[in-house]
Chains A and B, each alone.
Chain A
Amino acid sequence: MDLRRTIAIALAALGWAAAASASDLTGRIQLDGPRPEPTEIPVRAKSSTYSVQGCGTSKRSPRLLVSEEGGVANAVVWLESAAVVPAAPVTATMDQQACEFVPHVLLVPRGSTVTIGNSDGILHNVRMFRETQMLMHEWQPPAPQPNAIAWRGDEPGRYLVRCGVHAWMSAWIIVADHPYYALSDAEGTFTIRHAPPGASTLRVWHEALGEQERSVVVSQDRAPITIRFAEQRRMAWESR
């Protein structure tokens, strides 16, 4: 057996062993208490300079979307792992459709390129922030003019995207520094694929509900986790 074949078999065996020992960590983000109705935002032009044609007359705020069973959408869930494994960069898209950013939360690995488009027939103005620091301020002409903006997420973190002329429009780009991240779906459920076994800290961030963390032990027979947020916390956050 030549050396190359030996190495290939050894690598395959290692990969199989890793896959066999890693587990999918599943769970659900739950909001206790009465289900809040999304805020209805009346669509108004900032000034006569900026059009709202095609935006509709009102928008439902995407900041806190809760299912009938209390599941919270768009929560970012991740494992704080001591052994950080880089994830392969991807190319992703965030579009503006009917004066909304789609998707509202985009999760990408570090080094990924995000193309921010404008499918609307009106002018938009993309601004990107990290904390209070503005990183991008780009005018986007109406479709069908070419208007895509490419942005590369080289630094892990949370990036807020806003439209400067339509105040209700916002979105988040989450740049992850390892693969053990997930985004909760419309029912509040999430799956972190191939999570490394053993003790770890699970962290959750939601733009309206804040952050939580919990110690977990990842194993193949691990039951789904439920992370609960309280309505009081949301109210406290909103009134600050």
Chain B
Amino acid sequence: MESMWQHHGRRWPRMGAIILLGVGVIGAGRAPSEQPDLSKAPQRLPVTVRVDFGPAGKPAREERVMVDKGSTPKDVVSLLFPIQSGATCCNTRELAAIDGVRADPATNRWWTCRLNGKGDFSPFLKELSAGDRVEWIYVEQLQ
């Protein structure tokens, strides 16, 4: 009576072939995703962003940057400066500070955002288009 080992020993070359074939199929299946697929690559958009520190007295900064499609005005300002979100105003996503310059309810100083000169949008939801101009402006309102 043949042992189990002998039994497996005779079968081994066949099993190995099956395993190798399987690896080959999996490898072949993966191959396309390893090739650069330009149609699925993240689209990059050129936009201009300007940060005006106004009464905070720091120099303004303006840059033309490339951003991923789907980026928002909030995303793009974070490319230039560290930002801080928090419940300073309106909702928990409101921008509380850019480069350490904080919105201040007591002095009525706030960060406002304009896109192509207009302000009627959410800087946290609006998706940017190629050529957009984003301005973050620190303003002091009379009180």
List A residues 123-140 near B (Cβ within 8 Å): 127, 129, 132-134, 137
B143 adjacent to A160 (CB under 8 Å) = no
For chain B, which range describes its interface: under 10, 10 to 19, 20 to 34, or 35 or more residues? 10 to 19
CA distance A133 to B103 in the complex (A): 10
Question: Is A61 interfacial (CB 8 A cutoff)?
Answer: yes
Question: Is A167 interfacial (CB 8 A cutoff)?
Answer: yes
Classify the secondary structure of B's interface with A. loop
CA distance A61 to B142 in the complex (A): 8
Question: Is B127 interfacial (CB 8 A cutoff)?
Answer: no
A52 to chain B, nearest CB (A): 14
CA distance A133 to B120 in the complex (A): 24
Which residues from A are CB-within-8-Å of B106? 129, 160, 207
Q: Which of A41, A47, A63, A132 contacts B105 (CB 8 A)?
A: A132
B98-139 to A contact mask, C-beta < 8 Å, 1/0: 000011111010000000000010000000000000000000
B89 adjacent to A61 (CB under 8 Å) = no
A38 to chain B, nearest CB (A): 11
Which residues from A are CB-within-8-Å of B108? 162, 167, 170
A39: nearest residue on chain B (CB-CB)?
B142
B143 adjacent to A167 (CB under 8 Å) = yes
B120 adjacent to A61 (CB under 8 Å) = no
B142 adjacent to A160 (CB under 8 Å) = no
Which residues from B are CB-within-8-Å of A63? 143
B105 adjacent to A160 (CB under 8 Å) = yes
19 contacts between A and B (CB under 8 A): A41-B142, A47-B120, A63-B143, A129-B105, A129-B106, A132-B88, A132-B102, A132-B104, A132-B105, A133-B87, A134-B89, A137-B90, A137-B91, A162-B108, A167-B108, A167-B143, A168-B142, A168-B143, A170-B143
- Which B residues have a C-beta under 8 Å from some C-beta of A? 86-91, 96, 102-106, 108, 120, 141-143
